[in-house]
Amino acid sequence: MTPSFSIHDYDWPPRVLATPSATREVLEKHGLHARKKYGQNFLIDASVIERSIEAAGITEEDCVLEIGPGIGSMTQLLSRAAGHVVCVEIDTSLEPVLADTLADCDNVTILWQDILKTDLRAVCTEYNDGKPMKVVANLPYYVTTPILMELLSKKGCFSSITVMVQKEVADRIRSGPGSKEYGALSLAVQYYAEPEIVTQVSAGCFFPRPNVDSTVLCLQAYEEPPVQADEGLLFALIRAAFNQRRKTLANALSHGLDYRGRRLSREEVVAALEAFGLPAAVRGEALSLEQFAALSRQLTA
DSSP secondary structure of 174-197: T--TTSTT-SHHHHHHHHHB--EE
Compute the least distance from the CB of residue 239 to ligand SAM, in Å. Answer: 20
The nearer residue to ligand SAM, 116 or 203, going by C-beta atoms, is 116
Among positions 22, 50, 56, 69, the unique one binding ligand SAM when judged by CB under 6 A: 69
CB of 169 to ligand SAM, least distance (A): 13
Rank residues 85 and 249 by Cβ distance to ligand SAM and give the closer one.
85
Pairing of strands 196-201, 214-220: antiparallel
| CA 16-19-25 angle, 5° bins | 90
Least distance CB 124 / ligand SAM (angstroms): 17
For residue 74, count other CB atoms closer than 10 A to its CB.
Answer: 28
Number of residues this chain uses to bind ligand SAM (CB under 6 A):
22
Please identify which residue in 56, 64, 70, 205 interacts with ligand SAM, judged by CB under 6 A: 70
Please give the residue whose beta carbon sits closest to ligand SAM in the complex: 68
Minimum distance from CB of 3 to ligand SAM (Å)?
Answer: 21
> First-to-last CA distance in the chain?
43
Closest to ligand SAM by CB, 178 or 204:
204
Choose which of 140, 183, 256, 284 interacts with ligand SAM (CB under 6 A): 140
Q: Which of 282, 272, 270, 238 is nearest to 256 (CA)?
A: 238
Query: 191 with 165: CB under 8 angstroms?
Result: no
Q: Site residues for ligand SAM, window 72-131 (CB under 6 A)?
A: 73-74, 88-91, 114-116
Rounded CA separation 287/301 (Å):
19
The secondary structure of 143-181 as a DSSP string is: GHHHHHHHHHHSTTTEEEEEEEEEHHHHHHHT--TTSTT
* 236 near ligand SAM (CB under 6 A): no
Nearer residue to ligand SAM within complex by CB, 206 or 259: 206
Site mask for ligand SAM (CB under 6 A), range 24-63, x = bound? --------------xxxxxx--------------------
CB 201 within 8 A of CB 163: no
Query: What is the C-alpha to C-alpha distance for residues 286 and 301, in angstroms, rounded to an integer?
Result: 23
* Contacts to ligand SAM by CB under 6 A: 38-43, 67-70, 73-74, 88-91, 114-116, 138, 140, 143
